[in-house]
Chains A and B, each alone.
Chain A
């Protein structure tokens, strides 16, 4: 084939504006793709179209839908408005690939991805998409489908899109971080594999994201980027090596300890006596600051687990929502723990999907129905650790205090105010 419909139509690179992205010390994606375009003619078309975007401050991609057999997501299909001029961009899709948890790679796997991307498409890879998955760019319809088959043949699986579970993402965790309070990689793999059906087939009212961090430093950026952050934490005392504390003080000075550790603790639960550090463990909120600063001397406690939060997402539609506590503490070590988590998530999904509106993220759903109703719906007891403070609005519908008034039925005040009495009467 040749001429107008030739996807590999020969074209000279014309990129006066993009050329300005070649100077300067930071690695240039443009220089890389420019070099690569000598081998992949379609990349010339891509860069020429990008040049037009730079010139006109305008975008030329439109979305469409394409699915691999058996899957309802994972290919982000793009067609160019300028396909007449750039026939190679007529269909130029992205394939989302589930990354190895923690973004770790052996080079055989990376070479395999590079070869698969190059063989079936434009040979452009991104490490990683902001969702966490690997993005391979630039496939025709056929190329996309073949790419997906090849990937799966080689043991990869493709990511989620649409009103479905998204590819999970986690921090490096126990593989290389002494702060990690649980096995983020293992839990990420377990959740991905357990819920793989929901990742590949959009059956939810809207998307759902998990992000997993081994401690509240939250290197996986879970708090505002995921519907269910799972963050490592511990019960009981943190571990203190007093010899190392003394070494720290000798090296850095007492003033540094006071200014940068003691007074920066959010709950003021650190104090120093001589050269030993005292921790008010009951009031430590596991923020990680002192451990970050004095990581040779301090580490998380031994009885470790996770805090599960709910409802984070970015601004669309009701404004940003930060995730909030749903399960203050849970062990996540044994197979039974993992199964408990899977069942718990299914309960959350069921209530959300049965009652959520179209396009309603779980955080928006909670904002609409109220956390109290949500907890009741998923069968979780309210816990003061879920809130910053109790409500300040006094208009409340107490179910307990509003028994039926008609037909002469009793309207006696139940003993709801006293903790012990309540346990007896309403259990």
Chain B
């Protein structure tokens, strides 16, 4: 680095007013309604009558600088140079002129190759994380598995044929950066961490002892080396210690597997937000295209599509039809591992004689 003085620190968040489409700035707080013109295209109407068109497309989230420039070229041409991203890594081209819409859509689909969709009752883009591309903890990949899953789900993304929206997420370890979704995929480990005692001195021991949720880690001296040991009966293979300390290897390429969880919902519409629940476990971690994951997701979506009622999210649909029906329709085995033994254990039992018979 040069000897130039350091750039100013602590400048804070960018001034968003410089990043707003002129119609957004002009009508800030004055929007009165919106309509979906077709899947992937929204129009918002302001009090004074201005209309802003949004063309939503699925992005791969990870992009080269050249792709970002291509995106900018399109926004410069049709959007006065303004766009935004959604929380699920969709891109939204913002367009003030209805006459530009057709060309804008053509540019997004043809030049960029990104599909329009993710609006209304559809499967939106999958929230995902780093995976093998760039994290230190992953048991599987992120962007690659999303690509494979979305190839299979693209018609559900492009059309609005589901009872309600489906938010999906996939996470490459149990830290679960991609969080809860209507359908979420997570890696699971099946053994305690393997400790590399010779490497242990690199971290502060109390930190890794403190992070274990099962109080399974304790300081130990092994072969004269100050290190830690794991009480295997207590350990629940969560991998928290691995996140803290690279010498506690939790992953196992032979035995790590994937599980799918359903019914997470953050919105309060119709009922309080809900956590996702275990649907199926023991799915092989099978790169490069993870076909078993796609197959399992397809089964959930087919059942949801067949019997879900309008506006029911996946969790609400299962609440109505019951878990027995869910397992019957999807063909996933219901096992003793589906019965909770965590903090919510007792309240997750059916504490009534209310049963569909």
Contact = CB atoms under 8 A, between A and B. Distances in A.
Interface in B43-64: 44, 52, 54, 58-64
A59 B132 contact: yes
Nearest to A92: B134
B224 interface: no
Given A21-B147, A25-B154, A71 B269 contact: no
Contacts of A26: 58, 60, 115, 146-147, 150-151, 154
Contacts of B128: 130
Interface string B12-55: 11111011110010001101111000000000100000001010
B311 A264 contact: yes
A87 to B, nearest CB: 17
Nearest to A191: B13
B297 interface: no
A54 interface: yes
B119 interface: no
B93 to A, nearest CB: 11
Given A63-B246, A317-B240, A260 B310 contact: yes
Contact of A172 (B32, B84, B137): B84
Interface size class of B (residues with CB under 8 A): 35 or more
A53 B132 contact: yes
A376 to B, nearest CB: 24
B266 A222 contact: yes
Nearest to A40: B64
B213 interface: yes
Nearest to B154: A25
A410 to B, nearest CB: 42
A197 B1 CA distance: 25
Interface stretch (A175-183, A275-283, A398-406): A175-183
Contacts of A264: 270, 311
Interface string A84-126: 0000000010100011111111111111011101100001111
Contacts of A327: none
B308 interface: no
Contacts of A127: 59, 61, 63, 85, 89, 91
A427 to B, nearest CB: 34
B13 A192 contact: yes
Nearest to B146: A26
Interface in B316-335: none
A230 interface: no
Interface residues of A, number: 132
Interface string B70-100: 0110011000011111110101001000000
A155 B54 contact: no
A59 B89 contact: no
B268 A218 contact: yes
A123 B64 contact: yes
A58 B343 CA distance: 32
A357 B210 contact: yes
Nearest to A292: B269
A18 interface: yes
A146 interface: yes
Interface of A: 17-18, 20-21, 23-30, 32-33, 35-36, 39-40, 43, 46, 50, 53-54, 56-63, 69-71, 78, 92, 94, 98-111, 113-115, 117-118, 123-128, 130-131, 137, 142, 145-146, 148-153, 155-157, 168-169, 171-172, 174-178, 180, 183, 185, 188-189, 192-193, 196-197, 200, 216-225, 259-260, 264-266, 285-289, 292-293, 295-296, 299, 314-320, 322, 357-359
Interface of B: 1, 4, 6-16, 18-21, 24, 28-29, 31-34, 44, 52, 54, 58-69, 71-72, 75-76, 81-87, 89, 91, 94, 112-115, 127-129, 132-141, 143-144, 146-148, 150-151, 154, 174-180, 206-207, 210-213, 238, 240, 243, 246, 251, 253, 256, 264, 266-273, 275, 285, 287-289, 309-311, 342-344
Q: Nearest 4 pairs between A and B by C-beta?
A: A24-B151, A36-B64, A152-B7, A193-B12
